[in-house]
């Protein structure tokens, strides 16, 4: 009965046809030549019925579930999108920025109040350095402000080449590459190398731009406990076992460890020598973010490699911004040419963005000059850091987070009230109290929902070489007073 | 804005379409558009990339003629281009073979000995293109300059003795090169004058750095002043600025869109928009370049079918478009996009990186160009790098949006704020365009740019080049097609003291290599004539006058000095 299986009709027709056929069979069985006329008529009708069924327009069951144009229009009418952004209350803690009038240097005017700056990452006090300003001005007079193009299309200035050369020499690496935005530096560098399928081991305390770089890379991300080399080794071992199961895949899976030199979120330093050992043991590459430690740690300010006396060639890539110690804008990566040069075509923030305004590059060059001419500046900074670290000890109800030589410390509440919001509000009151007393501090700001591991709320205390002993003592006593009166 | 019913009457014809999707014929452009849709496929050579014109009939959404042309690739040229790449690839393999056997000297930087047994950092094929194709013509890019990137520019002379693997600087300067490459649309790349002086003053007062983020201690009074001015310039309630244009996109789209949201993105959107969309975690769908039918279909399907698998309705739909597409020279069909977004309740994110300052009678971008209301665009994004001769990017829109970004933008929380002299450059150049400096100099620049654009494009078409894009777009891509002509054109032009940008794969589809000219208000008529003359000469030399329409398609109107007056209200 193959003819019954007409595609598309079977679902509806089958039962009907079956009935008809069974009727027909009964008829056949009872067939007799002397069949009465009504039999023939009935059979004729039945045959016609079958023919009609066969040739009538088919309709599919699923067609019934399709929406009509009208229904579609209704759906479109009905759809209510969420608002583009949820409303933000006017008294959100990050809604109203403090306003700085005038230069954000050692003496700073915050919300109309003359203060001493303990908040800007101007570690070496180069922000209002006369020499730096003069160089920037000279550059402005020659090149104007903007570059009007990316590096590839007439956006490369001789100043950029000079700065790259100087940075490479300063860091004693083969090559350096500059970006026009500090945040974009490591965030572009990571996805230039680490691709889908690769594995990145990251410290939990890694800063936000590293997190964004990792996200853009679409690699597997494995977080290890902050500065815990055992935990890292555990993960590396796990991976090694995994690799043995599938050696073909392992041969093309790149492995990276991404760490910060001096962590911006915890103000402590990464155990680099131990990391280098692990690097060779497990054949992973190290990417080191040095925004906080470049121009700070080490005898010549070369950062955490110099601090630990690690051979800089053992680190595959170092990135740092020029917005803290160097007090300009932008960032750079340095390392061996084999690694760095790849970014010139693959670093998104490098290729697709306008280049750094030449005057900012010129300012950075002059800052490097100053750093090279006067390496004492780093030991002065270190001294100040130790002073501040010591002075802040014993602040009632608060604890200092960070190494004694870290220039950006965190003051956290000793015991949380249980609610982040209340904690933040309390810390904000301390900051406001200090602002009143002419000490400019700031809360460390985070995007609470976006951070992978949200650090506890804290007040940032930034040390610069310009702060005198008196400034530091005043700030410390001011914070103490505030803590006493507000935290009780 | 989100209630489609409330907007329906205002949307005009676009909303009331017959069910079969074919629109009434009285609107000429729509018909053409339908036509265009069928003829657009990029690699179908026998088909025509049609001339694409809309008429100002008073009934349509456009208040000015919208001429956009993408002439088809001649078949022979297409075949030759593929052959060119084929030959290059074969030679690439041959030379890789020679390098492997140490017959040819290898200039490539190598992995350290200590790390030889690590997993290779690069996959072999990853660098094949760089090594064997890009390296041959590497001298066409990254040419260092040593002056203001103005109408004329001084290049640092460099030579290569090892076929572009390394460059040596001779110490000489190639002076007075006519600059057709920088995005200096309004000519604000200047080292003298009002803007530069103001920036100099601020440099001495503030220094160049800020060393803190906006939310912490980096919110200067100048930043607030600039943002208020940007909002006023754009005609929006509020605005916020960031230190890098690329990051403005990549760090703010994630704040606006997230899981369960849909992003509809033009296929030729800039890398920063693509990255931002990807970082947001939203579902991304790509519609055909500037193709409104493709967009409409996607919007309709998205709302009707909801999210894949769960079929829940989308939380929100965000459309990402650019004002001027920097590689095509096309202008977004903004009136239609706005009509669609209103009809379907989607949100519109408009990236005006190239169009702000460069389009519109008042230089206020593509919204101004079409005479639309900026409030109809939910997110107005743009950069200060190009027309303003500064650096950075902004987002403008309703107060709630900007307030939200002030709290939630990745950039405001984690990135160092903008350098004060750069801010000053923005303030002064913007005031100049707005006429707030008490002069009409800014207006004249805007007008001059429009005139230069129309003049240059008309001449180029007359000479028989294939020029892509909109007749009012100051970005003028000229097709070269063959890979060998990329390098040749760049070099021959530089020999004759004209600096141009040439682009090939992967920035363009593999067959559509091109040169790109960026018109500036700083170009004088003489400069343009010189450039045109040289382009014609080199065009003959390299035989790149491919156009077979030796006619003036709709550009054939006498140049009208009051081009913008007709739509002034």
Q: What is the ipTM of this complex?
A: 0.86
**A354: closest chain B residue by CA:** B385
CATH classification number, A130-373, choose in 3.40.190.10, 3.40.640.10, 3.20.20.70, 1.20.1250.20: 3.40.640.10
**Nearest CB to A137 within list B111, B203, B416:** B203
Angle formed at CA B127 by CA B137 and CA B169, multiple of 5 degrees = 40
Distance (Å) from the alpha carbon of A481 to chain B's nearest alpha carbon: 22
Task: Note whether B121 contacts A443, CB cutoff 8 Å.
Answer: no
Question: Does B122 reach chain A within 8 Å, measured CB to CB?
Answer: yes
Q: Is the dihedral of CA B471, B473, B476, B478 positive or negative?
A: negative
> What are the chain B neighbours of A69 within 8 Å (beta carbons)?
19
Contact B277, B320 (CB under 8 A): yes
Interface size, chain A vs chain B, as Cβ–Cβ contacts under 8 Å: 371
Task: Note whether A144 contacts B383, CB cutoff 8 Å.
Answer: no
Whose tokens are 């006519």? That residue is B178
Distance (Å) from the alpha carbon of B521 to chain A's nearest alpha carbon: 14
Task: Note whether B256 contacts A132, CB cutoff 8 Å.
Answer: no
Torsions phi, psi for B407 (to 5 deg): -90, -40
What are the structural domain ranges in chain A? 97-126+376-487, 130-373
* Residue A109 vs residues A98, A104, A327, B233, B240: alpha-carbon distances, Å: 10, 8, 18, 29, 22
Of the candidate ranges A23-32, A148-157, A423-432, B363-372, the one whose mean pLDDT is the lowest: A23-32
**B209: closest chain A residue by CA:** A328
Task: Note whether A353 contacts B379, CB cutoff 8 Å.
Answer: no
Q: For residue B270, what are the contacts with CB-CB under 8 A and spacing of at least 6?
A: A352, B249, B322, B326, B351, B353
**Nearest CB to B142 within list A98, A152, A207:** A152
pTM of the model: 0.86
**Nearest CB to A181 within list B208, B244, B408:** B244
| Beta bridge pairs of residue A411 | A400, A459
> What are the chain A neighbours of B401 within 8 Å (beta carbons)?
84-85
Distance (Å) from the alpha carbon of B541 to chain A's nearest alpha carbon: 24
Distance (Å) from the alpha carbon of B398 to chain A's nearest alpha carbon: 10
| Beta bridge pairs of residue A488 | none
Residues A174-196, mean pLDDT to the nearest whole number: 95
> What are the chain A neighbours of B213 within 8 Å (beta carbons)?
445
* pLDDT tens track for A53-100: 888 776 655 555 678 888 888 989 989 999 999 998 888 888 889 999
Contact B247, B420 (CB under 8 A): no
| Beta bridge pairs of residue A458 | A412
Distance (Å) from the alpha carbon of A350 to chain B's nearest alpha carbon: 10
Distance (Å) from the alpha carbon of B28 to chain A's nearest alpha carbon: 26
**Nearest CB to A342 within list B122, B383, B385:** B122
Question: Does B357 reach chain A within 8 Å, measured CB to CB?
Answer: no
Angle formed at CA B146 by CA B142 and CA B149, multiple of 5 degrees = 80
* Residue B202 vs residues A48, A136, B217: alpha-carbon distances, Å: 96, 11, 19
Q: What is the pLDDT of residue A21?
A: 61
Distance from C-alpha of A248 to C-alpha of A251, rounded to nearest angstrom: 5
Residues A289-304, mean pLDDT to the nearest whole number: 95
> What are the chain A neighbours of B254 within 8 Å (beta carbons)?
450
Question: Does B111 reach chain A within 8 Å, measured CB to CB?
Answer: yes
How many CA atoms lie within 13 Å of B518's alpha carbon, on the beta-carbon side? Answer: 30
**A72: closest chain B residue by CA:** B304
> What are the chain B neighbours of A354 within 8 Å (beta carbons)?
183, 244-245, 383, 385-386, 391
- For residue A294, what is the DSSP state? T
CATH classification number, A97-126+376-487, choose in 1.10.10.350, 3.40.50.1460, 3.30.930.10, 3.90.1150.10: 3.90.1150.10
**B208: closest chain A residue by CA:** A328
**Nearest CB to A140 within list B4, B200, B209:** B200
Of the residues A132, A134, A148, A424, the best mutation for testing chain B's interface (the one with the most B CB atoms within 10 Å of its CB) is A148
> What are the chain A neighbours of B5 within 8 Å (beta carbons)?
77
| Neighbouring C-beta atoms of residue B58, cutoff 10 Å | 7
Task: Note whether B117 contacts A103, CB cutoff 8 Å.
Answer: no
**B410: closest chain A residue by CA:** A447
Distance from C-alpha of A220 to C-alpha of B525, rounded to nearest angstrom: 56
Q: What is the DSSP string of B45-95?
A: TTS---EEEE---SSSS-SS-EEEE-PPPPHHHHHHHHHHHHHHHHHHHHH
Residues A433-447, mean pLDDT to the nearest whole number: 95
Q: Helix A376-392 to helix A469-487 angle, to the nearest 10 degrees?
A: 30
Would you state the structure tokens that stand for residue B387, as one six-digit string? Answer: 């027309």
**Nearest CB to A153 within list B181, B272, B275:** B181
Distance from C-alpha of B28 to C-alpha of B55, rounded to nearest angstrom: 7
Task: Note whether A345 contacts B414, CB cutoff 8 Å.
Answer: no
Helix/strand/coil for A145: coil
**Nearest CB to A127 within list B121, B207, B272:** B207
Distance (Å) from the alpha carbon of B404 to chain A's nearest alpha carbon: 6
Q: What is the pLDDT of residue A8?
A: 47
**Nearest CB to B385 within list A76, A128, A148:** A148
Q: What is the pLDDT of residue A14?
A: 57
Whose tokens are 């290059």? That residue is B88
Question: Does B18 reach chain A within 8 Å, measured CB to CB?
Answer: no
pLDDT string in tens for chain B (569-residue length): 333 333 333 333 333 333 333 333 333 333 333 333 343 333 433 334 444 444 433 347 787 788 888 888 899 999 999 999 999 999 999 998 998 888 888 777 788 888 888 999 988 776 888 888 899 999 999 999 999 999 999 999 999 998 899 999 999 999 999 999 999 999 999 999 999 999 999 999 999 999 999 999 999 999 999 999 999 999 999 999 999 999 999 999 999 999 999 999 999 999 999 999 999 999 999 999 999 999 999 999 999 999 998 989 999 999 999 999 999 999 999 999 999 999 999 999 999 999 999 999 999 999 999 999 999 999 999 999 999 999 999 999 999 999 999 999 999 999 999 999 999 999 999 999 999 999 999 999 999 999 999 999 999 999 999 999 999 999 999 999 999 999 999 999 999 999 999 998 888 888 899 999 999 999 999 999 999 999 999 999 999 999 887 554 444 444 444 444 433 33
**Nearest CB to B220 within list A87, A104, A184:** A104
B residues 154-213 lying closer than 8 A (beta carbon) to A: 156, 179, 181-184, 188-191, 195-196, 199-200, 203-213
**Nearest CB to B403 within list A95, A108, A460:** A95
> What are the chain A neighbours of B400 within 8 Å (beta carbons)?
83, 85, 87-88
Report residue A231's pLDDT band, with 50, 70 and 90 as the boundaries.
Answer: very high
Q: What is the pLDDT of residue A33?
A: 56
**A69: closest chain B residue by CA:** B19
Q: Reply yes or no on whether the pLDDT at A5 is more than 80.
A: no
**Nearest CB to A146 within list B112, B189, B408:** B189
> What are the chain A neighbours of B271 within 8 Å (beta carbons)?
348, 351-352
Torsions phi, psi for A184 (to 5 deg): -75, -10
B residues 217-276 lying closer than 8 A (beta carbon) to A: 217-221, 224, 243-247, 251, 254-256, 270-272, 275
Among A350, A463, A376, smallest CA distance to A118 is for A463
Helix/strand/coil for B250: helix
Distance from C-alpha of B499 to C-alpha of B155, rounded to nearest angstrom: 9
Of the residues B139, B217, B302, the best mutation for testing chain A's interface (the one with the most A CB atoms within 10 Å of its CB) is B217
Q: For residue B281, what are the contacts with CB-CB under 8 A and spacing of at least 6?
A: B254, B258, B259
**B187: closest chain A residue by CA:** A148
């Amino acid at each position: 009965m193959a003819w019954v299986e007409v595609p598309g009709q079977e679902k509806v027709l089958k039962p009907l046809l079956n009935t008809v056929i069974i009727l027909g069979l009964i008829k056949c069985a009872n067939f007799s030549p002397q069949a009465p006329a009504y039999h023939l008529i009935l059979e004729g009708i039945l045959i016609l019925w079958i023919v009609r069924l066969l040739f009538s327009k088919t309709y599919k069951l699923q067609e019934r579930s399709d929406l009509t144009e009208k229904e579609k229009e209704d759906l479109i009418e009905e759809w209510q999108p969420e608002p583009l952004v949820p409303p933000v209350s006017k008294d959100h803690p990050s809604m109203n920025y403090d306003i700085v009038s005038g230069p954000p240097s050692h003496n700073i005017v915050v919300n109309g109040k003359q203060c001493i700056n303990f908040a800007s990452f101007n570690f070496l006090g180069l922000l209002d350095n006369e020499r730096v300003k003069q160089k920037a001005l000279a550059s402005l007079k020659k090149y104007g402000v903007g570059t009007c193009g990316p590096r590839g299309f007439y956006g490369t200035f001789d100043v950029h080449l000079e700065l790259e050369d100087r940075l490479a020499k300063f860091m004693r690496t083969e090559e350096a590459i500059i970006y026009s935005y500090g945040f974009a530096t490591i965030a572009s560098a990571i996805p230039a190398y680490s691709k889908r399928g690769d594995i990145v081991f990251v410290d939990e305390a890694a800063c936000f731009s590293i997190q964004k770089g990792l996200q853009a890379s679409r690699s597997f991300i494995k977080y290890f406990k902050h500065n815990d080399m055992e935990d890292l080794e555990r993960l590396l071992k796990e991976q090694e076992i995994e690799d043995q199961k599938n050696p073909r895949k392992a041969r093309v899976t790149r492995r990276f460890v991404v760490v910060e030199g001096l962590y911006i979120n915890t103000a402590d330093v990464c155990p680099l020598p131990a990391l280098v050992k692990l690097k060779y043991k497990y054949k992973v590459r190290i990417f080191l973010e040095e925004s906080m430690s470049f121009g700070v740690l080490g005898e010549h300010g070369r950062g955490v490699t110099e601090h630990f006396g690690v051979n800089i060639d053992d680190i595959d890539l170092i990135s740092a911004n020029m917005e803290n110690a160097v007090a300009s804008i932008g960032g750079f990566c340095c390392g061996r040419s084999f690694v760095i040069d790849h970014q010139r075509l693959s670093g998104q923030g490098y290729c697709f963005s306008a280049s750094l305004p030449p005057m900012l590059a010129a300012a950075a060059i002059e800052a490097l000059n100053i750093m090279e001419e006067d390496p004492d500046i780093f030991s002065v900074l270190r001294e100040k850091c130790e002073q501040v670290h010591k002075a802040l000890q014993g602040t009632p109800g608060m604890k200092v987070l960070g190494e004694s030589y870290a220039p950006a410390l965190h003051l956290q509440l000793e015991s949380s009230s249980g609610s982040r919001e209340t904690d933040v509000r309390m810390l904000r009151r301390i900051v406001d109290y200090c602002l009143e007393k002419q000490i400019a501090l700031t809360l460390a700001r985070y995007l609470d929902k976006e951070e992978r591991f949200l650090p506890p709320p804290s007040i940032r205390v930034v040390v610069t070489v310009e702060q005198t002993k008196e400034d530091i003592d005043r700030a410390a006593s001011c914070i103490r007073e505030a803590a006493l009166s507000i935290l009780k | 804005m989100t209630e489609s019913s409330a907007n329906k009457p205002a949307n005009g014809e676009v909303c009331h379409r017959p069910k079969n999707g074919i629109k009434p014929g009285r609107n000429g452009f729509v018909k053409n558009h339908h036509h265009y849709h069928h003829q657009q496929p990029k690699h179908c050579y026998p088909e025509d990339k049609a001339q694409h014109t809309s008429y100002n009939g008073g009934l349509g959404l456009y208040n000015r003629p919208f001429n956009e042309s993408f002439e088809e690739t001649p078949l022979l040229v297409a075949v030759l281009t593929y052959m060119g790449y084929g030959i290059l690839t074969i030679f690439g393999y041959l030379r890789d073979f020679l390098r492997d056997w140490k017959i040819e000297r290898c200039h490539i930087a190598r992995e350290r000995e200590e790390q030889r047994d690590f997993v290779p950092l690069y996959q072999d094929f990853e660098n094949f293109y760089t090594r064997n194709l890009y390296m041959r013509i590497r001298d066409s890019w990254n040419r260092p300059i040593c002056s203001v990137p103005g109408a004329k520019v001084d290049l640092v002379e460099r030579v290569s003795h090892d076929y572009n693997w390394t460059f040596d600087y001779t110490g000489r300067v190639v002076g007075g090169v006519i600059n057709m490459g920088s995005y200096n649309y309004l000519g604000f790349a200047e080292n003298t004058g009002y803007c530069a002086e103001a920036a100099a003053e601020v440099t001495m007062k503030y220094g160049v750095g800020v060393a803190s983020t906006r939310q912490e201690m980096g919110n200067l009074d100048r930043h607030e002043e600039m943002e208020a001015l940007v909002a006023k310039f754009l005609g929006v309630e509020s605005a916020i600025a960031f230190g890098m244009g690329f990051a403005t996109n990549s760090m703010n789209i994630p704040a606006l869109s997230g899981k369960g949201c849909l992003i509809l993105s033009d296929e030729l959107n800039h890398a920063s928009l693509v990255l931002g969309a990807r970082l947001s975690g939203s579902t991304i769908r790509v519609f055909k370049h500037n193709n409104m039918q493709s967009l409409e279909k996607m919007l309709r399907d998205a709302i009707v079918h909801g999210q894949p698998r769960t079929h829940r309705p989308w939380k929100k739909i965000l459309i990402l478009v650019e004002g001027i597409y920097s590689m095509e020279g096309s202008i977004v069909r903004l009136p239609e996009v706005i009509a669609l977004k209103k009809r379907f309740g989607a949100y519109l994110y408009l990236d005006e990186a190239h169009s702000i300052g460069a389009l519109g009678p008042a230089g206020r971008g593509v919204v101004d160009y079409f005479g639309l209301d900026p409030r109809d665009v939910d997110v107005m994004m743009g950069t200060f790098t190009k027309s303003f001769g500064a650096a950075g990017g902004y987002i403008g829109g309703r107060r709630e949006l900007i307030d939200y970004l002030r709290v939630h933008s990745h950039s405001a929380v984690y990135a160092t704020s903008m350098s004060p002299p750069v801010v000053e450059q923005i303030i002064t150049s913007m005031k100049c365009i707005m006429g707030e400096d008490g002069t009409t100099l800014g207006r004249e620049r805007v007008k001059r740019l429009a005139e230069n654009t129309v003049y240059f494009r008309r001449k180029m078409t007359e000479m028989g080049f294939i020029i892509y894009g909109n007749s009012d777009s100051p970005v003028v891509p000229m097709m070269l097609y063959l890979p060998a002509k990329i390098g040749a054109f760049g070099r021959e032009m530089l020999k004759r003291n004209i600096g141009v940008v040439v682009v090939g794969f992967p920035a363009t589809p593999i067959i559509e290599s091109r040169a790109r000219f960026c018109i500036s208000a700083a170009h004088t008529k003489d400069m343009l004539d010189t450039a045109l003359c040289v382009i014609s000469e080199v065009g003959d030399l390299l035989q790149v006058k491919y156009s077979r329409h030796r006619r003036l398609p709709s550009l054939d109107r006498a140049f009208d000095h009051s081009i913008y007056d007709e739509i002034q209200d």
